[in-house]
Amino acid sequence: MKEKILQFGTGNFLRGFVADFVQTLNEKELFDGGIVIAQPTRGGKAELINSSKGEYNLYLRGVDKGRSVCVRRQITCVSRCVDPYKNFEDYLALAKNPDLRFIVSNTTEAGIAFDPQCKFEDRPALSFPGKLTQLLYQRYLGHLPGFVILPCELISDNGAELKRCVLKYVDMWELGEDFAGWINSENTFCNTLVDRIVTGYPEDAEVLFKEIGKEDKLLNAAEPYHLWVIEGDYESELPLKKAGLNVIWSDDVAAYKKMKVRILNGSHTSLVFPSLICGVETVKESLDDEQLSAYLNRCLFDCILPLIEDKQEIRDFASAVLERFANPYIKHRWQAISLNSVSKFKERVLPSVGDYIIKNDALPKPLVFALSCLIYYYKNNPVQDSPDAAMSILIGDLEQILADTSLWGIDLSAMKNLVEKGITLIENEGIRKALAWATEK
């Protein structure tokens, strides 16, 4: 099998997302290509992947369109893993492969960053964009075609940001205008959006080994749902849609990011503190709780969805979100979701609040109640957030907290009466009575 895709990252997500897609393409005889992995940091899974000849099992478990799903996938499309820290020449040799066409990456949100300490002579450069620049330079010297680069890191404009970092290295390392021109003309850095919960090595691995028939140290697990939005259209070379995968080639990734952030992430952020104050620990338990589920439906269907363009794919996404939240195989703990909630509320919920006010000339009570719960929780429980944000809420009075633009980006003083009403109800009558008030129309 020809190595057509270079993957930066040995972690669970790419092995449960991109590798699953490529496996599907090959099984349907649409691609006939393999993945070679480059380990982007020290201490990855290179040795384990190579000792297993790149093969492992992936379990897809959850609910899909109302149907319970539990499928075992045997992943055989990974050929090997190269560790640039141990075999730098082998890493550079990847650039000489004329069959290599696509590059995918997931090096965490912090991975796409320019590090001025990196040198061209480093073996390898420590940063991911630095390593990529070293590889692209070898490709350029070999007079070979460029790549289609598909970063999966969860930052805005991930392709554009990765390209910006690469060109900064070209300039800092004085690699020449011709090389910079080749980067621009022969390579495409696509902005992308990815969505799938990949939980990794499952808790019930020993039970699954009995079904597999042997131990699998690379065993991975994920939900059935998947979405990959890619800027541009390379379906003729990578026929993902033809394979039946939920992949969207688009010239506007930003619209899909808005859909995901407001519907999926906004729902999480709205529900997290009402759930924690109720003593509910996981997302599924909240969906099983009649009152919390009703509150979520009010947030989603009355305060979020009506403010997004009315399209079938958006309605389908919202329905899928509720199924995913109720996945019995995933113990998605609210405590983990609650990390850094001030910035999350600012990015995920406040845009819906603003649009609701413009459309209805009124405040969306369910979403404002989510802010009441956030403030109440921060004042009464230890939290994991920036020290400044946590302290501002802990010691400030409500008027100060809402007017603090360093927290929310805007002055929220106009919400004071409604936020205060929610907090007062929680304090005097309990969270269940307050939830009933927030949910009523």
Q: What is the rounded CA–CA span in Å between residue 429 and residue 425? A: 5
Residue 154 has a pLDDT of 87
156 contacts: CB under 8 Å, gap ≥ 6: 254, 257
What's the pLDDT band for 110 if we cut at 50, 70, 90?
Answer: confident
Residue 9, pLDDT above cutoff 90: yes
Helix, strand and coil content of the chain, in percent to the nearest 5, comes to 50, 15, 35
Omega of the bond leading into 124 within 30 degrees of 0 (cis): yes
Amino acid identity of 346?
K
Residue 313 has a pLDDT of 86
3-state SS assignment for residue 233: coil
Q: How many other CB atoms are there within 10 angstroms of residue 339's CB atom?
A: 12
Residue 96 has a pLDDT of 97
Mean pLDDT for 42-61 is 95
Residue 366, pLDDT above cutoff 80: yes
Q: What is the rounded CA–CA span in Å between residue 368 and residue 422? A: 8
- 185-244, pLDDT tens digit by residue? 999 999 999 999 999 999 999 999 999 999 999 999 999 999 999 999 999 999 999 999
Residue 331 has a pLDDT of 87
Mean pLDDT for 365-390 is 97
What's the pLDDT band for 56 if we cut at 50, 70, 90?
Answer: very high
What are the φ/ψ torsions at residue 79 (nearest 5 degrees)? -85, -40
Q: What is the rounded CA–CA span in Å between residue 372 and residue 177? A: 55
Amino acid identity of 436?
A
Residue 162, pLDDT above cutoff 80: yes
Give the mean pLDDT of the chain.
96
